[in-house]
Chains A and B, each alone.
Chain A
Amino acid sequence: MEPFVFRQCVNILKATGRKANSLRRMRNEIALVSDESIYHHAYHYFLKEHLMEYTNDFAHWAGESLEERALAEQLSNIDPYDFKSIIDLRKEFLNVIDRYLERFPEPREVIAGDEFYFNETITIIYPAGVWVKNLAEFLMVLKYINAGSIYFHFYEARIRLGSGIDDFSQWISHSAGKKELAERIRSIDLFMHNIEEIREYIAGVIEEDLKEEMEFTGSGK
C-alpha cells in the first residue's frame, strides 16, 4: 500500500492596500482585486474560528458590518468548490451583489473601523513529519494532527488537484482500496462543519469501518 504522507500549510496574511466601506465599493473592488485575494476570502474562511453562520469573508462582512442579512445569506450560498476557476467564482460574487443592488435600496456605509480589507496569503506547505501505511495508523494520526494539515488535505486539495476531490478519500479509495468508505467521506457537507467537526466525522466513519472489518475477520467469515 502506498503510504499517506501528512503535510500541512500555514498562511501568512499579505495586505493588498484595497478596502471597501460600502457595498458598491465592495462590488467594484471584487471586480479588481487579484485572484489570490478572491481565493483567500472565499476559501480560507474555514481556517478561522467562527460560528457557522456564513461561509466566506464577503458574506461575513455583509452580515456583520453592513448588516444586510439577505445579502449575507445569498453570498453564503455560493459554493466556491463549484467553480473551475477564480474568474467564474469572482463573476458569481459580482452577480449576487449586482442582483441585490438592483432589488434593494443601497445600504448605508459601514461605520469607521468596520471597512473590509482585501488581503492575500503567502502559503507555506511543509511535511507534518508523519506518514502512515494503513488505515488504522491513518486514524491514529488523524485524531491528533494539526488543523492546518486537515485543511491542506481536505479543503485545499480540492482546488490543488483540480478534481474537487480531497486527498484523504483519494488515498482511502486508491491505496487502501475502500471505495465505499471514501464515498462516505466525500459526502460530507463541507459548509456545515468546522475543521474539528470534519476531523471527528472522518475519524468516526473510519473507526466504524475498522470495527466492522475486525468483527468480520473475528467471526471467521
Chain B
Amino acid sequence: MIEQYAAMASRGDILLLQRLGERLSGRSFLHINSTFAGGGVAEILNRMVPIFKELGINTRWEVIEGDAPFFDITKKIHNALQGNAENITDDMWQYYIETNRKNVSRIEPGADAVLIHDPQPLPLIEQKNSGKWIWRCHIDMSNPAKFVFDYLKQFCVKFDAAIFSVSKFSRAIGINEFIIAPSIDPLSEKNRDLTDDEIRATLEKYQIPADRPVILQVSRFDRFKDPIGVIKAFRFVKKYNNSILILAGSPATDDPEGEAVLNEVREYAGNDPDIYILMLPPFSDREINALQSIATVILQKSVKEGFGLTVSEAMWKGKPVIGGAAGGIPIQISHGVTGFLVHSIEGAAFRIRQILNNPEMARWMGEKAREHVRQNFLITRQVRDYLAVWYYLENKGKNILEM
C-alpha cells in the first residue's frame, strides 16, 4: 500500500514515515472514534489504519457504542463546540459519561499511544494509566459555547496532547497542542485518475454539454456554502463569457435545512438552461471526481467553513480553485499562486472571468495547486504527522529531533 502512495506522495514524507515506522514498530496504537462508516473521520481512518499496520505498528481501531439518546447528546455537544446554543443538562452529561464507562471493558483502552477522535469518546481519558493519550479534535472550535467547553476541559487537560486542524480552531487548554491539517486520499474513488470512459459516462448521465467551459461548486446545499452567491457571480460572468455552471451536492440526513436551501437555489436559478443543479445520491464519489476533472474552474465560495477539504480535492485534479476566505480554505489556497481567495460575490465573478480568459494562467495555477496538495494535503503527510507527535511526546522537551 505504501508503495502505491510512494508513486504520488512527497518522497520526503515517505522516507520519514519509514524512519518513524522503524522507531515505533512493534508498539501499540489505538484509535477510538464513534462510527466505522460515514463522515470524514471514519473515511480517513479506513485508509490510515492499514498504513500504520504496514509500518509494523500494532494498530487497533475501536468504535464506542451507544444508543440513540447518547448520540443525540453527543450531536448537541458537537454543535455547541461549533458555536450553536444548546442546552445540555446534568442528566445528559451523566449519560454521556456513563455510556463511555460502559464501553471500557469491550474497548480496553490501553496502548502505547491512544488517539481519541472528537468529543464522543473523550471521557475514556479517565482510563489512562500508561501510554501517550492524544485528543484529535476535527471540529471548528474557534467559537465554542463556553459552558460546554468548560465542562469538557476537565477531560482535555488530562491528555498529553491535543491536535487541531487549523490554528484558529485551537483553544488554550494548557497541554501540548499541535496543528495538523486533515488530508485527502489520492487512491480513493473521489481522487483517483479516471478513464475518459468513466468521465464520459458521468457527463452523459447528467446531460452536461462538453462544448463550453464549466464552472463547478461541489457542496451540500447549505447557506454557509453560499450557493445563491455562486449563481449571482455566474450571472455577472455570463455577460462576458459563454459558460455553464454546475452546483452539485448530496443530501445530508443530519441537515434539516438542506431541502429548503435546495428549493431556494432552484427557484433562484429559474429556468436558466446554463445552470445545472445536481442532487447526487450519497456515495457519488466517482461522479464528483468526474465533474471536478472536466471543470475549468472550481469554486468553494463558503462564508463559513470547517477545513473545506473539497478545495484540496479540486486542487488535486489540477484545477485553479476560487475559495471564500473562511475556515481552512486560506490554508489550502495561496492567493494568486494556487488559486484565488475572495471576499464577495463580485470578487468571485472577477476571478472566474480572469481564469476563463487566461487558460495559460489557469494551467500553471492548476499545476501549482496539485503540487501544493501533493506536498501538504495527502494522507501520507497526515500519517507522518501523527507518528511525529507520538515520537515527540516520547522525547519530551526536544523541539529538534534528529533521526
Contact = CB atoms under 8 A, between A and B. Distances in A.
A and B found bound together: yes
Interface of A: 8, 10, 12-15, 17-18, 36, 48-51, 113, 115, 117, 119-129, 146-149
Nearest to B395: A122
A122 B15 CA distance: 18
B7 interface: no
B372 A123 contact: no
Contact of B401 (A124, A128, A146): A124
22 contacts: A10-B384, A12-B178, A12-B385, A13-B167, A13-B179, A15-B167, A18-B172, A36-B399, A48-B334, A50-B334, A51-B337, A119-B167, A122-B399, A123-B399, A123-B400, A124-B391, A125-B401, A126-B402, A128-B15, A129-B15, A146-B11, A148-B12
Contacts of A146: 10-12
B337 A49 contact: yes
A117 B166 CA distance: 10
A126 B399 contact: no
Contacts of A115: 168
Interface string B370-403: 0010010000000011001101100000011111
A146 B13 CA distance: 9
Given A10-B12, A10-B388, A15-B167, A126 B19 contact: yes
A15 B401 contact: no
A15 B392 CA distance: 14
B68 to A, nearest CB: 35
Given A123-B400, A126-B16, 6 more contacts: A10-B12, A14-B178, A49-B337, A49-B338, A51-B337, A123-B399
Contacts of A15: 164, 167, 170, 177-179
A124 B388 contact: yes
A124 B403 contact: yes
Contacts of B177: 14-15, 17
B336 to A, nearest CB: 5
A146 B384 CA distance: 16
Nearest to A118: B167
Interface in B168-209: 168, 170-174, 176-180
Which applies to chain A's interface (DSSP): helix, strand, loop or mixed? strand
B132 interface: no
Contacts of B400: 122-123, 125
A119 B179 contact: yes
Contacts of A127: 15
Given A12-B392, A146-B12, A121 B399 contact: yes
B395 to A, nearest CB: 10
B162 to A, nearest CB: 9
Given A8-B12, A49-B372, A113 B326 contact: yes
A113 B176 contact: no
Contacts of A50: 334, 337
Interface string B3-24: 0000000111101100100000
Which of A12, A14, A117, A127 has most B Cβ within 10 Å? A12
B293 interface: no
B368 interface: yes
Nearest to A146: B12
A188 B334 CA distance: 25
A160 to B, nearest CB: 9
A14 B372 contact: no
A126 to B, nearest CB: 4
Interface of B: 10-13, 15-16, 19, 142, 164, 167-168, 170-174, 176-180, 326, 334-338, 368, 372, 375, 384-385, 388-389, 391-392, 399-403
B180 A13 contact: yes
Which of B170, B368, B391, B399 has most A Cβ within 10 Å? B399
Nearest to B335: A51
A6 to B, nearest CB: 10
A122 B401 contact: yes
A146 B10 CA distance: 8
B375 A147 contact: yes
A149 B10 CA distance: 12
B307 to A, nearest CB: 14
Contact of A13 (B15, B178, B336): B178
A126 B179 contact: no
A117 B176 contact: no
A122 B388 contact: yes
Contact of B170 (A12, A117, A120, A121): A117
Contacts of B335: 51
Contact of A113 (B16, B168, B179): B168
Contact of B403 (A12, A36, A126): A126
B53 to A, nearest CB: 22
B386 to A, nearest CB: 10
B16 A10 contact: yes
Which of A51, A113, A115 has most B Cβ within 10 Å? A113
* 4 closest cross-chain pairs (CB), A and B: A17-B172, A117-B167, A146-B12, A13-B179
Which of B164, B167, B338, B388 has most A Cβ within 10 Å? B167
A130 to B, nearest CB: 10
Contacts of B392: 12, 122
Contacts of B15: 8, 126-129
Given A50-B334, A123-B401, A124-B16, A12 B172 contact: no
B102 to A, nearest CB: 33
A123 B16 CA distance: 12
B400 to A, nearest CB: 5
Contacts of B178: 12-15, 122
Contacts of A14: 176-179
